[in-house]
Amino acid sequence: MDNRKESEKNLFVGLPDSEILHLLTTISRELVCLHEPDGTYIYVSPNSEKIIGYKSEELIGKNPYDYFHPDEKRLIQERSHQPLLRGEENIHSTFRFLHKDGRYIWLQSDNRLTIHPTTGKKYLHTSSRDISEKMDTEANLALAERRFKTLFHDSPIGLVLTGGHGYIDETNEAFAKFLGYQSYEVVGKHFTEISSVDELEENLKFRDEVQKGIIDNYSIEKQYIHKTGKKVWAYLTVTVLRDDLGHPIHYLAQIIDINERKKNETLLREKNDRLRAATNSYLTQNKQLQAYNQIISHHLRAPVSNLRSLLDLMKESDQLKEVKEIESHLENVAENLETVLSELITTLKIQNSDQFQPEPVNIEQSFDKVLRLLNGEIKSKQAEIQYNFSSANTVYFSKDFLETIFLHLLSNSLRYADTDRKLRISVESFPIGAQTTISFSDNGIGIDLERYGDQIFQLRKTFHRHISGKGLGLFLIKYKMESIGGKIEVRSKPGEGATFLMYFPERSDSE
Amino acid sequence: MTPKICVIDDDTIYQFTTKKIISNAGIKEDVLLFSDAENALEFFHKESQNKDKLPDIIFLDINMPFMDGWQFLDAYGKISPTFPKPIVIFLVSSSVDEADTDRAAKIPMISGYIFKPFTKEKLLDSLAHLQS
């Protein structure tokens, strides 16, 4: 080039091109170099110290291969250097370069083959920038992703990633195994497909609150449906991932298997219930024994002491007429004793719970049978009897006991009818919680409960003069009800009638 | 003086033997007999100021239908302070249940608790209370 000197002077700033180049490259982030075809530096821009730590003069005459990371030397040779020499246009390469301070930095280069316009000699032109920071971020991201994947897939806790609509995008081995599936079988299912309906409402309520942005996470105990169909308990914690507008994109669910714990809890609760039932039954038995003591005291000792008195009088007596009278009394006492003993035996039979096996008893069938038994008396008294057992038609009880109870109550109602009005009897059953309750009402003469309230279910108590009653029925009914853990209550007002309420306990699973 | 005796008990055989025991003990006075505590109460209301009709001693049964001995005592206690003479009360029962004897011990107007069978000895022991 002849007029080279001339052209070196820049027309605008009055500086030679080399100085302008120097100015430009000093402030540039790009490291511009010119290499021999084998790579040897023949020009290094003055900003090199800033980028790679070496002054330009330190590198001139050196070969960059001495600075490349050993792992990438071959790659640069094959992917960048040789293609360049073969004439490929523009090659980008990313590689690690040994900084003067001893660490490798990531450089990204644009590489070209340059041919000297006059000599035709080939040079390599590289323009490089430090991308270490970017590489670090990417590496960190990749690492974070890897960490997350590892954490996700290898976690012993069940993890599920669902999309905003509730379909499962990803799941780990632990969760799949918990439900008896392979991971790929779970992916794509809607979470409600594998959830038990029992806690679904609660689950959806929380999800709704998350969607509305009220809460960001929630925890519940719920049951999933195992592949085999059985339900399994889990402790679920759900965290939401939102987009910039606050809409949920993903839900990350952590599922802890608490099936064993729940099973133990249930077992414990059942044992507790059984224990409580046993305690209650002991308390009842204790109360019944006390009542028994009373019965024996009053009803058995009384005829026995009469017997003793009569025998003493007989010994003293010297008149035949008197002896005859005493004999007739003795007969009465003997009869009385027999009655009391048979009553005691009846109650003892009830107490002997081994003989009592509760079974589902159809209330209406039992009541019908009793109606037929008392049909004559019902007709003669012109009693109107209404009954409805449609809302609870079964009690877990003994058929015999239920019939005896109906027989006693119905006989009582017929016996204690108010002669001034038509006798109406109404019998109904209904559920109260898990119990079945039977109410038995009449519009008879009623009982003065203020006066007899504490005696009504005692043995041999009658509350109405001129009407014969043995006073055994209600006592036995109470015994029967209590022996199964039920109870009986009475509501009554004199002149208005009486209502008996009988509570039959639910069927216990342990039986 | 011959004591006037009142027996309140629903048991007819007990009534019979008690009457006999009393007459065998040589007491000539007729026994006031009530099978029903409520009838007895009516009597005490009616004769509350009649010294001659009121008894000196009551043998009261605990366990009776309609109104039992305890209920009788409640009602009786309200009218007895106006009586023109003191009346001794003995509870008579076949019950050996401590619940009954304990309950009786807490009632001051009861002078004693007699376990059935009622005998001549028990009668004479309780009549001894009248002199003191």
CA angle B130, B124, B102 (to 5 degrees): 75
Average pLDDT on A414-435 reads 88
For residue B51, give how far its alpha carbon lies from the nearest alpha carbon of chain A (Å).
31
Which among A289, A294, A297, A322 is the top mutation candidate for probing chain B, defined by the most B β-carbons within 10 Å of its own β-carbon? A297
Integer Cα distance of A429 and A391 in angstroms: 7
pLDDT band of residue A243 (cuts 50, 70, 90) is: confident
> Is residue B62 classed exposed, middle or buried when 0-12, 13-18 and 19+ CB atoms within 10 A define those classes?
buried
* Candidates B11, B95, B117; nearest CB to A297: B95
Q: Which of A68-72, A77-81, A317-321 shows the lowest per-residue confidence on average (mean pLDDT)?
A: A317-321
pLDDT score of A510 more than 60: no
Residue B14 contacts A, CB cutoff 8 Å: yes
Give CA separation, A237 vs A157, A180, A210, A468, in Å: 11, 20, 12, 71
Chain A residue with CA closest to B115: the answer is: A305
- Dihedral angle at the C-alpha atoms of A28, A31, A35, A37, nearest 10 degrees? -110
pLDDT band of residue A5 (cuts 50, 70, 90) is: low
Beta partners for B60?
B8, B91
For residue B132, give how far its alpha carbon lies from the nearest alpha carbon of chain A (Å).
28
Average pLDDT on A101-124 reads 91
Chain A residue with CA closest to B118: the answer is: A309
* Candidates A298, A308, A462; nearest CB to B117: A308
Residue B65 contacts A, CB cutoff 8 Å: yes
Residue B71 contacts A, CB cutoff 8 Å: yes
Q: Compare A285 and A353 and report the one with higher pLDDT.
A: A285
CA-based torsion, A80, A83, A87, A90: positive or negative: negative
Residue A388 contacts B, CB cutoff 8 Å: no
pLDDT band of residue B73 (cuts 50, 70, 90) is: very high
Query: What percent of chain B is modeled with pLDDT above 90?
Result: 35
Contact A313 B17 (CB under 8 A): yes
Residue at token pair 């991308």: A131
> In the structure encoding, which two tokens stand for residue B70, read together?
């305890």
* Candidates A294, A298, A309; nearest CB to B117: A309
Integer Cα distance of B110 and B118 in angstroms: 17
SS3 (DSSP) at A58: helix
Chain A residue with CA closest to B117: the answer is: A305
pLDDT of residue A511: 38
DSSP A225-270: E-TTS-EEEEEEEEEEEE-TTS-EEEEEEEEEE-HHHHHHHHHHHH
pLDDT of residue A467: 46
> In the structure encoding, which two tokens stand for residue B67, read together?
């109104």
Q: What domains, with CATH codes, occur in chain B?
A: 3-127 (3.40.50.2300)
Neighbouring residues of B126: CB distance < 8 A, sequence distance ≥ 6: B57, B59, B88, B90, B111, B112, B114
pLDDT score of A100 more than 80: yes
pLDDT band of residue B12 (cuts 50, 70, 90) is: confident
Q: Are A109 and A134 in contact (CB under 8 A)?
A: no
For residue A486, give how far its alpha carbon lies from the nearest alpha carbon of chain B (Å).
26
Q: Which of A190-199, A337-346, B71-80 shows the lowest per-residue confidence on average (mean pLDDT)?
A: A337-346
The helix or strand, by DSSP H or E, that contains position B16, with its residue range, turns out to be helix B12-24
Cβ-Cβ contacts under 8 Å, A325 against chain B: 16
Q: Are A34 and A124 in contact (CB under 8 A)?
A: yes
Q: Are A44 and A22 in contact (CB under 8 A)?
A: no
Q: Are A286 and A483 in contact (CB under 8 A)?
A: no
What letter does residue B80 receive in the DSSP assignment? G
Closest CA to A478 of A444, A506, A454: A454
pLDDT of residue A367: 93
Neighbouring residues of B17: CB distance < 8 A, sequence distance ≥ 6: A306, A309, A310, A313, A329, B117, B118
Cβ-Cβ contacts under 8 Å, A294 against chain B: 95, 97, 99
Integer Cα distance of A436 and A504 in angstroms: 5
pLDDT band of residue A189 (cuts 50, 70, 90) is: very high
pLDDT band of residue A487 (cuts 50, 70, 90) is: confident
Backbone angles phi, psi at A153, to 5 degrees: -80, -30
At B27-47, the pLDDT tens digits run 888 899 998 899 999 999 999
* Candidates A294, A301, A471; nearest CB to B65: A471
For residue B68, give how far its alpha carbon lies from the nearest alpha carbon of chain A (Å).
10
Integer Cα distance of A159 and A255 in angstroms: 6
Q: Compare A434 and B7 and report the one with higher pLDDT.
A: B7
The helix or strand, by DSSP H or E, that contains position A286, with its residue range, turns out to be helix A259-295
SS3 (DSSP) at A144: helix
> Is residue A174 classed exposed, middle or buried when 0-12, 13-18 and 19+ CB atoms within 10 A define those classes?
buried
> In the structure encoding, which two tokens stand for residue A199, read together?
């806690």
Q: Which of A232-236, A264-268, A293-297, B73-77 shows the lowest per-residue confidence on average (mean pLDDT)?
A: A293-297
End-to-end alpha-carbon separation of chain A, Å? Answer: 113
* Candidates B20, B68, B95; nearest CB to A301: B95
Residue at token pair 């040789």: A82
Residue B23 contacts A, CB cutoff 8 Å: no
Contact A313 B20 (CB under 8 A): yes
Q: Are B34 and B60 in contact (CB under 8 A)?
A: no
Chain A residue with CA closest to B35: the answer is: A465
Radius of gyration of chain B (CA): 14
Residue B61 contacts A, CB cutoff 8 Å: no
pLDDT of residue A285: 75
Residue A472 contacts B, CB cutoff 8 Å: no
Give CA separation, A189 vs A185, A232, A435, in Å: 8, 18, 41
Residue B76 contacts A, CB cutoff 8 Å: no
End-to-end alpha-carbon separation of chain B, Å? Answer: 14
For residue A469, give how far its alpha carbon lies from the nearest alpha carbon of chain B (Å).
11
Integer Cα distance of A306 and A303 in angstroms: 5
pLDDT of residue A475: 76
What letter does residue B71 receive in the DSSP assignment? H
Average pLDDT on A357-377 reads 88
pLDDT band of residue B66 (cuts 50, 70, 90) is: confident
Chain A residue with CA closest to B21: the answer is: A313
Backbone angles phi, psi at A435, to 5 degrees: -95, 155
Query: How many CB atoms lie under 10 A from the CB of residue A296?
Result: 16
> In the structure encoding, which two tokens stand for residue A100, read together?
């003067």
pLDDT band of residue A123 (cuts 50, 70, 90) is: very high
Across all residues in chain A, what is the average pLDDT? 84
pLDDT of residue A150: 84
Average pLDDT on A255-272 reads 90
At A82-94, the pLDDT tens digits run 999 988 888 999 9
pLDDT score of B64 more than 90: no
β-pairing, A217-225 with A231-242? antiparallel
pLDDT of residue A462: 54
Q: In this predicted complex, what is the ipTM?
A: 0.83
Integer Cα distance of B76 and B45 in angstroms: 9
Closest CA to B72 of B41, B33, B104: B41
> Is residue A129 classed exposed, middle or buried when 0-12, 13-18 and 19+ CB atoms within 10 A define those classes?
middle
β-pairing, A104-115 with A122-130? antiparallel
pLDDT score of A294 more than 80: no
